[in-house]
Structures are given as C-alpha cells and as structure tokens.
Structure 1
Amino acid sequence: MPFFTVDGQALHYIDQGSGPAVLLAGSYLWDTAMWAPQIAALSPHYRVIALDLWGHGESGRLPPGTTSLDDIARQVEALLDHLQIEQITLAGLSVGGMWGVRLALLAPQRINGLVLLDTYVGVEPEPTRQYYFSLFKQIEESGEIAPQLLDIVVPIFFRPGIDPQSALYQDFRAKLAAYTADRLRESIVPMGRITFSRDDLLPRLGELNAATTLVLCGDQDKPRPPSEAQEMAELIGCPWVLVPEAGHISSLENPQFVSEVLFTFLAERNR
C-alpha cells in the first residue's frame, strides 16, 4: 500500500491503472472502499488515484497544523507533485468536493475536469453545524461512537429506503463502532469540525471552468440535498445530474450509474 508523508504524517492512497489521471476524493467517515466500484470500472482505462482522509482508512492522524480544508488541498497538491502528475480529473464526494473545489481554485492548471458529488461549498447552515458539533462533543467525551449515536449517524449517509440489515449499512456501522478513542479524538472529531466550520466558497464558484465541471447528487441525499447541487451548478454555469435511488454515498448506492457518468465525462475530457 503506498503512503506519502506530508506535514509529518503518512497519507494512504491507491494508485491503480494507467493512462490519464483521475483523483477520487471521498466522504467524511469513509475510506477508499467507497470508490471500489468506480476504481474497478475506470482503472482498465485510466490511472486512478484514491486517498484516505487523515485518520480514515490507513492514513495517519490529522497533522497538528492542519486546521482548514485549504490545508487538505495543499497536501493533496503535494501528493500530485510526488506522483509527478501534471493534470488530473478530480471527482470529489462530500468533503472530497469541498476541498476539491479549493484545489481547483488553488491550482487551476492541474485540473482538466471537476465532478462534484453530493457536496456543498457554502457554509454549513447554522442549526446543522451546531447539531453536528454537539455530536462531536459527545464522541470526544465518551471516546466512542456509542450505539445510540450510531443509530443517528449511520442513516444520514443513505437513502431513506435502504435495508438497515444490508451489508453496505451494517459494514459502515461496524467500521464506525470500531474507531479507537485516540483516533476519534486526534483525527475524526477535529476533521469533522474543520469540515462543518468551512468558509463560504459560493462567491468563487464562477471562477471554475463551467465547460469542464459537472455536479451530481443522489436524488434522496439528506445532508446535501439536490437544492444545494442545483444552486452550485447555477453559480458555476455547468450541468447537474440527479443520481436515482441514491442518498449521500451515491458511489455505492447506485454505483453503475455513477461509474457510467464518470466514464462519459472522462471520455469527453480525454478525447
């Protein structure tokens, strides 16, 4: 498994396939496994890079000086330098889209295409921010995501009709339950606070290249509803697409649809 040390910590990533480079940037509380269907679909034709957020998957703890999503964007640009990748198409879901837009604004020459999935780069609505912060406080104090909190947190990521006994649902619940107190306090909770206290990038969306940008959203996404996707797409001036029968983790809830949209988008970018 490849690692890249940046700001004193080891960032874990997958590097699979060859051809034009695609960077898959995932959601808070998920690791590279959330992209498994897309990695399988794209890597026969493209060089697919996917990475674990700090404290997630195999990555090390959140570096002490990392205090904003701009820091994450800078760290990922350093990874691209390390891999000697001049240009990428970036597909960012949830927090992956939040820092992905920052990378596109920081280094526009590095991005030849941008797909924003189930994400929002405006500020978090204040009631939601306060609610999430109250959950973080409980997790920090107890050193675990207790069963009653799992009952609250896990459903947020899926469409309302999902079978709670399904492997997708149960595997995610088990992964959250297994986090150690140190990992929660050093990385998961601070990463959540960074994510949900982000600054407002909506005024800068017009700087993105509308011709090479696409917005996707699960039609049943609860934390990042389609209205937010539409708002961002209109500010960018780019198309937006609803992913049918999908909640927040559309890459796993309707993997074939998401993979096909990405494949078509990539084909157009790399003609």
Structure 2
Amino acid sequence: MQTTDKQFNYLDIGSGFPLLLGHSYLFDRHMWEPQLDALAEHYRVIVPDLWGHGESPQLPASHTSLSDIAADHLALMDQLGIQEFGIVGLSVGGMWGAELAAVAPERVKVLVLLDSYMGDETPEERQRYFAMLDAVDQAGAITSPLLEYIAAQFYSDNVPASLLQPLIEHLQSLPADLLRNSIVPLGKMIFGRPDKLALLEKITATTLVITGELDKPRPPAEGQRMADILGCEHVLIPGAGHISNKENPEAVTKALLAFLAESTTPLF
C-alpha cells in the first residue's frame, strides 16, 4: 500500500463512537448531508473528500489501486488519533472500506456497504467503462450524450430533476486537468479492480449491506452475494438507485441508525 504526504479535506463533527464515511465516485463529502445531522447526534462523524473530489488535492501520482486509497484513510484515522472506528461506505467508499476492514480488523469494528461490490467487472463492462474514461480523457471534458448517460447511472429512472440536474451541471464543470489527472485514473482503478470478494471472509467487523432496489451499476444481486459471504443482513432501499442515500434518504437513515444502535455504544 502506498501512502502520501498529501492530506484529504474532511469534515469532523459530532461526538461518540467514530464513523468514517466514504462517498461515491464523482460525488464528494456533501453526498452524505441527508444523514449527517442524524448521525452526528450520536456519533463522531468524519467525512473526507476523495482525491480529486470536493476540496481534496488531486490523486497522488504514486497511487495505482484501491489498496492505496484504503491506506490513506487509515492514515487519516492515525492522524486523528482514532484507534477503533466504523466505516459507512457507498460505491467506491464501500470498496476501499471493505478492504480497510479486512486488513485492519482490530481497528474497524463496524462496516456498512451501500451500493457497492467487491467482485470485479465483467470483461464487457470493464471495456465499456474504460472506453468512456478514454473518451473523457481525450476530450478533457464530459460531453453530451455521455454526460447525461453517466449522470443517469447514479439514480433511478424516476429521479427528480432536483437531484439529477445539479449532478449534470457538476460533471459538466469539471476541468480538463482534474479529469485527466484524478477522475480518469481513479475511474480505471475502480472499474479495473480485481475480484476481491474473498477479502470479505477476513472481515470481523459487525456488517450490514444496503442496496437501492433500482441500482443500475450495482444491482441488488451483487449486494446479496456480499451479504451471503459476510453472513449479514441485506437491506433493500425502495425506489432508490445507486446514490440510495440521496434518492430515499429517510429509508437509508433509518436503516443506518437502527444498525448502528445495535452495533456500537453511542453517546445518547
């Protein structure tokens, strides 16, 4: 695992058992705003921006895999003096989160994987993702019709414009250097990842898997497969796509609070 002298930008609020929240690719720490107030009432919540996202620096050139990303988050916990903590990760946040839980079981005591998958992509899917990333790299922008297609993958077909349109505008605004130096190489780490389902067997944390029932890139069958390996519950979020915590925030918040109340010792 590579480490870096760069530091994530992060939010640190609340008190109690520490929770490290990992957001989706192409989003940032603000993705978790629907859950922040409820979680911070009972827990210390640390929410970093991933490299090249939000206000964090660009992806370190030395990084080649999600193992490096996992190491960076463990280094952040070291920096904050936090020994034991939980991870709540959505999409790539769950990918590095599960990897961290597997390599540091004495530290990660609770793990929630939302709309994520530790298996690899099929060869066809990998080729499709890489073609899209190469097109973005070549253009130095996310342009139509790819722009609208990518944005639509994050939500169900019934998503309101109030969620979809800001995402389209955000993706459209990303500058060429950020896309080429952070977004594209990070995307190739994510979509070119090896099958790491076997890592789930090494996880000793109390776990929960959550999937939006209408998730397009990470369908419920993948969540169920991970829950079966982990021997934990799999919660389906009604009417939600990939960013389930924004499309049905009430259901996700309820599931998180119920699980965490049973799995941690919060300060009430």
Interval of TM-score (by shorter of Structure 1 and Structure 2): over 0.9
The answer to whether residue 140 in structure 2 is matched with residue 114 in structure 1 is no
The answer to whether residue 59 in structure 2 is matched with residue 62 in structure 1 is yes
Structure 1, unpaired ranges of 5+: 1-5
Deviation at 1:270, TM superposition (A): 2.1
Q: Please point out which of 38, 41, 60 is paired with 1:41.
A: 38
| Partner SS, residue 7 of structure 2 | strand
Q: Please point out which of 260, 266, 270 is paired with 2:260.
A: 266
Query: Which residue does the alignment assign to 2:250?
Result: 256
Deviation at 1:33, TM superposition (A): 1.0
CA distance, structure 2, for counterparts of residue 237 and residue 269 of structure 1 = 15
Query: Which residue does the alignment assign to 2:212?
Result: 218
CA distance, structure 1, for counterparts of residue 257 and residue 28 of structure 2 = 22
Cα deviation, 1:44-93, whole Å, max 9, x if unaligned, reads 21100111111011010100111100000111100000001111111110
Query: Which residue does the alignment assign to 2:188?
Result: 193
Query: Which residue does the alignment assign to 1:153?
Result: 150
CA distance, structure 1, for counterparts of residue 32 and residue 199 of structure 2 = 28
Question: Amino acid of the residue matched to residue 250 of structure 1?
Answer: S
CA distance, structure 2, for counterparts of residue 134 and residue 109 of structure 1 = 40
Query: Which residue does the alignment assign to 1:180?
Result: 175
Is contact 1:89–1:266 with CA below 8 Å preserved after alignment?
no
Question: Amino acid of the residue matched to residue 31 of structure 1?
Answer: D
CA RMSD of aligned residues (A): 1.1
Query: Which residue does the alignment assign to 2:141?
Result: 144
Deviation at 1:167, TM superposition (A): 1.7
| Partner SS, residue 145 of structure 2 | helix
Is contact 1:9–1:62 with CA below 8 Å preserved after alignment?
no
Instruction: Count the aligned residue pairs.
Output: 263
CA distance, structure 2, for counterparts of residue 206 and residue 139 of structure 1 = 36
Question: Amino acid of the residue matched to residue 215 of structure 2?
Answer: D
Cα deviation, 1:172-216, whole Å, max 9, x if unaligned, reads 111110000000000000000000111111123222237x11100
Deviation at 1:161, TM superposition (A): 1.5
Is contact 1:214–1:239 with CA below 8 Å preserved after alignment?
yes
Query: Which residue does the alignment assign to 1:12?
Result: 9
CA distance, structure 1, for counterparts of residue 52 and residue 7 of structure 2 = 10
TM-score (norm 1): 0.94
Question: Amino acid of the residue matched to residue 167 of structure 2?
Answer: F
CA distance, structure 2, for counterparts of residue 224 and residue 81 of structure 1 = 31
Query: Which residue does the alignment assign to 2:229?
Result: 235
CA distance, structure 1, for counterparts of residue 233 and residue 190 of structure 2 = 25
| Partner SS, residue 24 of structure 2 | coil
TM-score (norm 2): 0.96
Query: Which residue does the alignment assign to 1:129?
Result: 126
CA distance, structure 2, for counterparts of residue 234 and residue 45 of structure 1 = 29
Query: Which residue does the alignment assign to 1:83?
Result: 80
Give structure 1 regions of 4+ aligned residues with deviation exceeding 6 angstroms: none
Deviation at 1:168, TM superposition (A): 1.1
CA distance, structure 2, for counterparts of residue 52 and residue 217 of structure 1 = 22
| Partner SS, residue 73 of structure 2 | helix
Structure 2, unpaired ranges of 5+: none
CA distance, structure 1, for counterparts of residue 183 and residue 7 of structure 2 = 16
Is contact 1:10–1:59 with CA below 8 Å preserved after alignment?
yes
Query: Which residue does the alignment assign to 1:3?
Result: none
CA distance, structure 2, for counterparts of residue 94 and residue 67 of structure 1 = 18
Deviation at 1:29, TM superposition (A): 0.5
Identity %: 48
| Partner SS, residue 54 of structure 1 | coil
| Partner SS, residue 112 of structure 1 | strand
Deviation at 1:10, TM superposition (A): 3.2
The answer to whether residue 29 in structure 2 is matched with residue 32 in structure 1 is yes
Greater shift in the superposed pair: 220-229 or 43-52: 43-52
Is contact 1:8–1:63 with CA below 8 Å preserved after alignment?
no
| Partner SS, residue 16 of structure 2 | coil
| Partner SS, residue 56 of structure 1 | coil
